[in-house]
Structure 1
Amino acid sequence: MAIAENIEKTQAEITSFEQKYQRALGSVKLLAVSKTKPVSAIEEAYAQGQRLFGENYVQEAADKSQQLTHLKGIEWHFIGPIQSNKTRILAQSMHWVHTLERAKIAQRLNEQRPADLPKLNVCIQINISGEESKSGISLAELDELVEIVRNQPNLILRGLMAIPAPQVSLADQLATYQPLYEAYHALAESVETVDTLSIGMSGDMEAAIASGSSMVRIGTAIFGARNYA
Structure 2
Amino acid sequence: MIRVLIVDDQRLMREGLRTLLELEDGIFVVGVASDGSEVIEALVHQPDVILMDIRMPHVDGITATREVLLRQPHIKVLMLTTYDDRADVVGALSAGAVGYLLKDMPAESIAQGIREAVRGGAILPPTIAKTFLAAVHQQGGAVEPGASVPEPDKTALLTDRETQVLNCLAQGMSNREIGQYLHVTEGTVKNHVSNLIAKLSLRDRTQVALYAVRHGYGRLP
- Which TM-score bucket, shorter chain as reference? 0.3 to 0.5
Higher strand share: 1
**Structure with the higher helix share, 1 or 2:** 2
**TM-score under structure 2 normalisation?**
0.37
TM-score relative to the length of structure 1:
0.36
Q: Larger RCO: Structure 1 or Structure 2 (Cα < 8 Å, ≥ 6 residues apart)?
A: 1
